[in-house]
Amino acid sequence: MDQNTLTINGHAYNFEPGQTILQIAQHNNIDIPNLCHLKGTRPTGACRICIVELEESWGKKLVSSCSTPAKKDMVVHTESPEIVKYRKIYLGLMLDSGNHNCDIGSAADESWTDFQIAAMENDKKEELCPVWGDCELQALAYRYQVKGRVSGRHREPLLLPVEDDNSFIYRDMSRCILCGRCVAACNEVQVNQAIDFGFRGNSGKIIAGTGTTLRNSSCVFCGECVQVCPVGALVEKKNLGKGRPWETEKIRTTCPYCGVGCQQLLHR
Ligand code: SF4
Ligand code: SF4
Ligand code: SF4
């Protein structure tokens, strides 16, 4: 039988019709960075970090691998100089769009040790981000050595105060990169439909209900959005200031809430 095969970074892989380039890459342990992709939900192509290069008969083109279905005999590259150039631009724009004050990119002129020491010193700052060291944007910015301007507060949501009127979720839209993972998690995974994209352009933000707080919306505080948020925009309130993930012991246990028996990791 004629198999569906494409080439990624010079190696041939089989695929099933309907699979995206990102799905095939992930299935074969090929690293394509991404920030908006959420497994099991509809792809949005919002962050553009997962761009790959396709060789076409007329030249090369860049596409989002999360939203591009694989085609027979496609030739894909995942880390070419052109891709890296655009990933850096997109990461820089994301850093500039919010309150990302975590010393990203300082490793360009310091050793890794100096970078860590500087960050630990910054840790004393009241304003330092609660997810420092556990942030997908920070990790990618470090990987691609992109430094934000820190002062780039040009989006309207950055003027919003932190939403802190509930007992469970610390919601800081000044650090939101509008990836949409939380919206997919709430609407497609949990089917709670408590949050969505609201407004347009520089006023664009994730809204609860028709523009209220989570507490006053249909949010049930399941936490699904918190666990998928790649940055420090949604943080579990109980964890704030209680230690970094690598400082805690993780114990696998069973959630006692209902009879499904979901496994979870308790951090202590
Ligand atoms: S959300 Fe991530 S990138 Fe932004 S300040 Fe926090 S750690 Fe840094
Ligand atoms: S915590 Fe609220 S907003 Fe988040 S996924 Fe659950 S219901 Fe939706
Ligand atoms: S709150 Fe988090 S998950 Fe939701 S859009 Fe913003 S960055 Fe993405």
* Contact 192 CB / ligand 2 (< 6 Å): yes
For residues 268 and 159, state if they share a domain.
yes
For residues 174 and 268, state if they share a domain.
yes
Summarize pLDDT for 194-220 with one digit per residue, the tens. 999 998 887 889 999 999 999 999 999
Count of structural domains within the chain:
3
Q: Which of 94-98, 133-137, 206-210, 227-231 is predicted with the least confidence, judged by mean pLDDT?
A: 94-98
Q: What span, in angstroms and rounded, lies between the C-alpha atoms of 27 and 8?
A: 12
For residue 17, give the CATH number of its domain. 3.10.20.740
Percent of the chain with pLDDT over 90: 59
The pLDDT of residue 75 is: 97
Pick the residue with more confidence: 123 or 15?
Answer: 15
| Residue 89 and residue 39 in contact, taking contact as beta carbons nearer than 8 Å | no
- Of all protein residues, whose CA lies closest to atom 1 belonging to ligand 2? 221
For residues 237 and 159, state if they share a domain.
yes
Q: Where are the beta strands (DSSP E) in the chain?
A: 5-8, 11-14, 51-56, 59-64, 75-77, 169-171, 195-198, 205-208, 234-236, 250-254, 263-267
For residues 253 and 163, state if they share a domain.
yes
Residue 232: give the domain boundaries: 155-268
The pLDDT of residue 240 is: 84
Rounded distance from Cα 149 to ligand 1 centre (Å) = 13
Average pLDDT, the chain: 87
Question: 55, 79, 103: which is the final residue of a domain?
Answer: 79
Mean of pLDDT values over 154-175: 81
The pLDDT of residue 169 is: 96
Residue 155 has pLDDT above 60, yes or no: no
Q: What span, in angstroms and rounded, lies between the C-alpha atoms of 165 and 227?
A: 19
Percent of the chain with pLDDT over 70: 85
The pLDDT of residue 3 is: 81
| pTM for the full predicted model | 0.88
The atom of ligand 3 lying closest to the CA of 181 is 3
The atom of ligand 3 lying closest to the CA of 179 is 8
Question: 132, 154, 176: which is the final residue of a domain?
Answer: 154
For residues 60 and 101, state if they share a domain.
no
The pLDDT of residue 152 is: 45
For residues 140 and 173, state if they share a domain.
no
Residue 87 lies in a domain: no
- Of all protein residues, whose CA lies closest to atom 2 belonging to ligand 2? 219
Pick the residue with more confidence: 144 or 133?
Answer: 144
Mean of pLDDT values over 228-250: 87
Residue 89 lies in a domain: no
For residues 24 and 49, state if they share a domain.
yes
The atom of ligand 1 lying closest to the CA of 129 is 6
For residues 108 and 146, state if they share a domain.
yes
DSSP string of 193-204, one letter each residue: --EEEES-GGG-
Residue 85 lies in a domain: no
Predicted confidence band of residue 11 (pLDDT cuts 50, 70, 90):
very high
